[in-house]
Amino acid sequence: MNDKKTEINSKEANIALESIRRSEKSSLQQSMPPSWLGIAISIIVGVLVFLIAAGLRDYYFLPIIALPIIIAMQRSKMKVSARVPTTNKKTVIALIGLIVIMIGLIFAGIYARSLYGTMTGPITCSLIATLIVYWMSISERNEHQKKIDQVIR
């Protein structure tokens, strides 16, 4: 059936292409990660960095439990899931870089706490961690928006 040659004119083809563009755009809009998710994840990461740097071991479990709950909540609300591009070198390097930065911030926080004996260091490091993750979520949303704007074949 699909091999059957069917004649359609350019006007009909144009209408079909327009319909495809509209649908693809709508799908991409639906798969846009919500802004609250970026805010929530950045706060949770910030709290985790603060707790570790401040040595508050009794509370480590809070952000560790909160993170999967937030992700599960988001997944159950979404009616679509975006296509995940195959892992490339750039993504792996960015992920390793992020982990290194977070570990660096934790050690910087621990060092500042032991040096000055106050919580200023851990708080500052957690704020930096929060801002980095938030900036990443904004970048992700911007990339997604670019993809939506570029739905031109």
Partner 1 sequence: MNTPQFNSIIHAPNRLQICSLLAPLEDAEFQLIRDQLGVSDSVLSKHIKQLEDAGYVMQRKEKVNGRQRTWLYLTKIGRNAFEGHVAELMRIVEASVF
Provide the binding-site residues for partner 1, judged by CB under 8 A.
1-6, 8-10, 13-14, 16-17, 19-21, 23-24, 26-28, 30-31, 76, 79-84, 147, 153
Q: Residue 62 burial (CB < 10 Å; 0-12/13-18/19+)? A: middle
Task: Specify the DSSP class assigned to residue 8.
Answer: -
Q: How far is the CB of 58 from partner 1 (least distance, A)?
A: 32
Of the pair 1, 115, the CB lying nearest partner 1 is at 1
Q: How far is the CB of 86 from partner 1 (least distance, A)?
A: 12
Q: How far is the CB of 91 from partner 1 (least distance, A)?
A: 16
Of the pair 9, 88, the CB lying nearest partner 1 is at 9
Q: How far is the CB of 17 from partner 1 (least distance, A)?
A: 5
CB neighbour list of residue 123: distance below 8 Å, 6 or more residues apart? 50
Of the pair 57, 153, the CB lying nearest partner 1 is at 153
The number of CA neighbours under 13 Å toward the Cβ of 85 is: 9
Name the one residue in this structure whose structure tokens are 């949303």: 141
Name the one residue in this structure whose structure tokens are 């930096």: 128
Chain centroid, CA 81 distance in Å: 13
Of the pair 87, 115, the CB lying nearest partner 1 is at 87
